[in-house]
């Protein structure tokens, strides 16, 4: 099922290591043109486009696009008490972790009478997307909304696909999670269309454009974010999930296998990769995966993901090569199952899970960390969702007359050099007469 790629005995560059396991790039490329057309359609035709897309993709017609109050009330009333307790605990943990992500204002005295204040301002309005296709993600409501609230965003809208099984309503667990967080602006809109609706607004249903769009989704959702980037701010393009496990002979093959399966069940395009210098571990994990995967509820989906070109067991000569592979791959989720973790050497990952008792599913729900993370190698240059996603750094400059006079000569020199004399005159005018 999981193919094994043997890289032992080869000195490979980071690019060659990365090429060993193809990413979802092809699927993402195919999705981009489709997502662009969907977004454009929503921008041009608004509600009409959204309803046509709901009929086509969600098999839903005639539903309320903006969720009415009674749907929230019914959802919360019917929420399983155990699920409610888990959501409330997740909210508390993510809120605590998110509060550490808000930088304090810092005032720097450049010189006497010359002060620059660095402050952080939240966006006015955020749109958060919560998937609802192959699975239901009330946990993603928590992961998106809590950081926005901690950042100080005053207006938060949420979108999630309408469910044919629930009469065109947003899944009740998602609505219940929204109500627990005080969110009452929710739209039964899914996929790339939801991203377009957030970016351009849909006046017919009272949906105003947002400043930032966040949230995970499939490759169409990720591609739609790329389409609207620049019109609105976006978080990372969180597409189909991926897990990379770096393990040595000390790792328990059962734990490795169940963790690979746990992410493979998300989506047929999910990536599940193990890199190890231990052939014995590789063989044991292969046996465990084959023995366990067929017994899972989402076996068909997981099996397809594990059989895909994006999933593999990679055999390497040593731990140094395993770490080099991980840093080149830059996974969304990285699990480190090593006798000596050496976490500081793993520099590219959305989130790092260390040791037997820190599976990725912990981060999906109750670790306190955020599970909206960059996929497709984006962790080389961007981070997961956090309170800072909704914050903008802003500089406030205060110079008194003496402090300005002290730098006037330099301003005049640079203004002359750049052939912008009015820049210099804006300074000298303050010292005339």
Active site residues: 332-333
Q: How far apart are CA 366 and CA 364, in angstroms?
A: 7
DSSP 172-197: HHHHHHHHHTT---EEE--HHHHHHH
Long-range contacts of 15-19 (CB under 8 A, 24+ apart): 15/328, 17/321, 17/324, 17/325, 17/328, 17/329, 18/328, 18/329, 18/377
- Answer whether 166's CB lies under 8 Å from 172's CB: yes
Q: How far apart are CA 395 and CA 107, in angstroms?
A: 10
Backbone angles phi, psi at 312, to 5 degrees: -175, 165
- Helices and strands (DSSP H and E) totals, the chain: 16, 16
Q: In a 3-state reduction of DSSP, which class is residue 216?
A: coil
- Answer whether 70's CB lies under 8 Å from 221's CB: no
Q: What is the largest CA-CA distance in the chain?
A: 89
């Amino acid at each position: 099922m999981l193919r094994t790629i043997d890289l032992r005995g080869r000195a490979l560059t980071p690019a060659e290591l990365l090429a060993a396991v193809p990413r979802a790039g092809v699927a993402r490329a195919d999705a981009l043109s489709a997502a662009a057309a969907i977004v454009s359609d929503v921008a041009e035709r608004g509600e009409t486009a959204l309803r046509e897309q709901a009929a086509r993709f969600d098999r839903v017609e005639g539903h309320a696009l903006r969720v009415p109050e009674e749907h929230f009330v019914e959802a919360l009333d019917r929420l399983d008490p155990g699920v409610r307790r888990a959501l409330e605990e997740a909210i508390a943990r993510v809120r605590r972790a998110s509060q550490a992500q808000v930088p304090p204002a810092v005032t720097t005295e450049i010189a006497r009478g010359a002060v620059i204040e660095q402050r952080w301002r939240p966006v006015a309005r955020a749109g958060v997307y919560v998937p609802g296709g192959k699975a239901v993600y009330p946990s993603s409501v928590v992961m998106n909304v809590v950081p926005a609230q901690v950042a100080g965003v005053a207006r938060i809208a949420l979108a999630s696909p309408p469910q044919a099984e629930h009469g065109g309503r947003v899944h009740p667990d998602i609505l219940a999670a929204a109500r627990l967080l005080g969110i009452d602006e929710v739209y039964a809109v899914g996929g790339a269309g939801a991203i377009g609706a957030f970016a351009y607004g849909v006046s017919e249903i009272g949906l105003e454009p947002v400043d930032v769009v966040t949230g995970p989704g499939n490759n169409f959702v990720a591609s739609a974010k790329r389409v609207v980037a620049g019109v609105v701010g976006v978080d990372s393009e969180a597409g189909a999930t991926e897990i990379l496990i770096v393990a040595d002979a000390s790792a328990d093959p059962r734990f490795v296998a169940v963790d690979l399966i746990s992410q493979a069940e998300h989506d047929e395009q999910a990536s599940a990769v193990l890199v190890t210098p231990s052939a014995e571990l590789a063989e044991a994990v292969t046996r465990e995966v084959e023995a366990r995967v067929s017994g899972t509820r989402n076996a068909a989906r997981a099996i397809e993901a594990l059989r895909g070109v994006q999933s593999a067991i990679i055999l390497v000569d040593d731990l140094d090569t395993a770490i080099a592979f991980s840093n080149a791959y830059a996974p969304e989720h990285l699990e480190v199952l090593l006798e000596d973790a050496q976490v500081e050497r793993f520099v590219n990952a959305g989130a790092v899970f260390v040791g037997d008792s820190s599976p990725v599913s912990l981060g999906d729900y109750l670790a306190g960390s955020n599970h909206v993370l960059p996929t497709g190698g984006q962790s080389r240059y961007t981070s997961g969702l956090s309170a800072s996603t909704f914050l903008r750094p802003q500089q406030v400059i205060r110079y008194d007359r003496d402090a300005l006079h002290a730098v006037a000569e330099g301003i005049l020199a640079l203004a002359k050099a750049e052939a912008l004399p009015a820049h210099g005159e804006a300074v000298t005018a303050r010292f005339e007469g």
